[in-house]
Structure 1
Amino acid sequence: MNNREVEKKIKKAYSQITAPDIIDSILSDCETQKGNVVMMEKKNKTPLFKGLALAAMVLVVAAGIFGFSYYEMNYKAVSTIAFDVNPSIEMKVNEQDRILEVIPLNDDATTVIGDMDLKGSDLDVAVNALIGSMIRNGYLSDLANSILISVENNDPERAAQLQQQLSDEISQLISTNNFDGAVLSQSITDDQELRTLAKEYGITMGKAQLIQQVLSVNSLYTFDNLSKLTINELNLLINGQNVSNVTSTGSASDKNYIGKDKAKQIALEHANVSESGVSYCDIHLDYEMGTMVYEVEFYANGTEYDYDINALTGDVLHVESEQKSSPSQATGETNIPSNSSYIGEAKAKQIVLENAGVTENDISNYWIEMDRDDGNIIYEIEFYAGSTEYDYEINALSGEIIKSERDQENDHYYSSGSSNNSSSSSNTSQSTSSITADQAKQIVLNHASLSADQISGYEVERDSENGIVVYEIDFRSGNYEYEYEINGTTGAIIKSKKDIDD
């Protein structure tokens, strides 16, 4: 029997046994040999027999150690490597960087793997095959060029080496004549919460960890929503920020979308504003209402406009305008800061209650929401105490009170009904304003280019803001909700808002 045949028999034998089997076998052989040596010593006390017995024991132990080492090197998974694009693939790799198993985690991954049998292949061979298949099948392209590499290994130094090696290799593979790729890479450790989330949403631990990192930058998202996004979409949301534990090379492609210039053009045309009339403009991609949107904020002619434009179709999903004495100032950071920087809802509530001079037991109908206004992240807070309604805006970072309003509830005028029911204010309301509720209604209908029979759920409320009488008007038409604030003296539109009715 030649050496090659011996090696094959050893491999076959050790592929069918486990480390505990080997250890038990070694101990058993040692006991047997020990008994044989004792018997032989009783029969023959010569040094020759003692030497042979000792040599036999050494050979048995050595064979066991060799077998155990062979198993550890060839059959034990020491690294788990995950590739995420939209296809999500996991690979189990041994100490010699050979593939033990390739696991598809979704249907797209099954398409990528196809009929390839990568078991036993070198890691670099498997990487070339999988990336090539992703490009051929259109998962990596000029329209969506991002991939996430995640490495799990108990040795942090080895994990970092693999992460760098794979990042460099894949960057070269996806930087083709047709497009330049963007690579996100990270090392992960075994975390039970992460593992549970990954299993629940059917994604890799690597993608689950990346989503957690995005949430740490913008807590207005949810894990459920982000789990549905591709890596390219997540990379666009990160937008070049330094996300902890994630290394990034290249830029995520936005060529699948209409682009910032087109989004700006749509918003300006909708607002009937010329480019020359705009003194401040900020545009960035975001994820809202289950779709990627361009948030377009600009200031023109004494009015601040906020638009959400569907990034794929160019549809106007949301529009809001408000009269401002001066344009918003860019902060240099359009994305929401880390959640750990916020004062928190409890602290914001404490601030407004102390300012209003009321206690927790005094209030009712308490409401709080986080929002963005004039480049600031704020808490909007409303509640009642006795017959007084309180409205606050609190800077979410500093706790500063940006806005504070209070109104006596019995001063409010409110009417609701169908669009065919005209609303009229009380004698008190009409005596303190120059326009009636019916006139305010006609103003908003003209602005929205709608007739009374095209709307439903019409509501009007007379209020006072900074000493100015205003009409707050809400209604629906088609798939949209409309909100207006009308100056009760001049009839000017102070604020208008149009949203998809969800």
Structure 2
Amino acid sequence: MTNEKMEQRLASALEKTAPDDVSGVLSRCEVRKGTVSSMKANHTIKKKWATLVAACLAVILLGGGGVLYQQANAAASVVSLDVNPSIELRVSRSEKVLACAPLNEDAKAILADMGGGADLKGAKLDVAVNAIVGSLVRNGYLSSISSAIMISVEDKNTARAEKLQRELTDAVDGVLQTSDAKASVLTQTLTQDAAREQQARENSISTGKAALVNRILAINPALQFDALAKLSVEELKDLAEAGAPAMPIGKDKALSIAAAAFSRDLADEIRYSEVDAELDESPAQYEVEITGQKGEEIEYKIDAYTGTILESKRETEEKTSAAQPTSSGDIGHAKAKAIALNHAGVSESKAYDMEIELDEEDGMLVYEVEFKSGGMEYSYEINAATGAIVKQEAEPDR
């Protein structure tokens, strides 16, 4: 409706609520001696006032409507997904995506078939997250057991942030189970922090990843923010668990060391390579698998802090399935989480710092579930095939 039409409707409504009753007023006036001045209805003045009032009401209504529109389309939450690609989504109160931005070069490749993120604008948040995680799986970022994805929700409203966190965890878990990916899922909720936002901008990472880096710096202040920001979520998670004793060499450096050794050992060109960080092992190491053009494969274990080759093992390309942990089924991240929470007697809304990771223990796949609640820290190992609790610990959160 145009402003002009709205003014006309308001003017008409005003006339109906204030009818012309000049004749009635005159009939109730007594005739007095002296000069009598007749009263006439001044329609011109009344219409001017009616138009003025209508215009003011129209401005108020239009202004109020604009405020409501702005509120409905303002960013209420910021959701970030981090593996090594870092992707940020700004979300409205109705959980619609207002903007989706790649924060580094790896993320641009993930969003390449989604218009660089523009195609996700207007989509429901869970639909957008499913599309992004699906692309991460297709590009091999979540294929290994040691890989990890972190979901961060930043919102002034804590209850809304926790609700989104739960919904997105279930959505990501669904994609991982459907695609048979084995990555661990880390989640966190954040409050707005100007200093952290500046750190994120300066290092082209999400505020969620910046929070994880700051957590490591709190353990070891001697480390550098910009160097840590270049590590993957998988590396940062393991580094925090190991107590952050020093700065690791990183996946790229580990691959470079292994590739040089591979060329010396086989004098063959590299056809395929994969690097897994095992910073929570003793000694901390990078496991690098390289396959040559002739089909031979060498696995290298590189010291995570010195770059020394700890071990190399040559294998044929055809591996026997007996060497791999097997499972008759997979209960999934969501079921493992539910089992742990139920055993601890903790509701999901009261748990925080939740971490769920699929790992191998003595040839058996287990879900490692860790969370905090009510001043306690809980840790579970749950059989990935049966859901049986293999190990559980609870201790005061220090």
- State the TM-score, normalized to the length of structure 1: 0.40
Tell me: higher relative CO, structure 1 or 2? Use CA pairs within 8 A at least 6 residues apart.
Answer: 2
Greater fraction of residues in strand: 1
Greater fraction of residues in helix: 2
- State the TM-score, normalized to the length of structure 2: 0.49
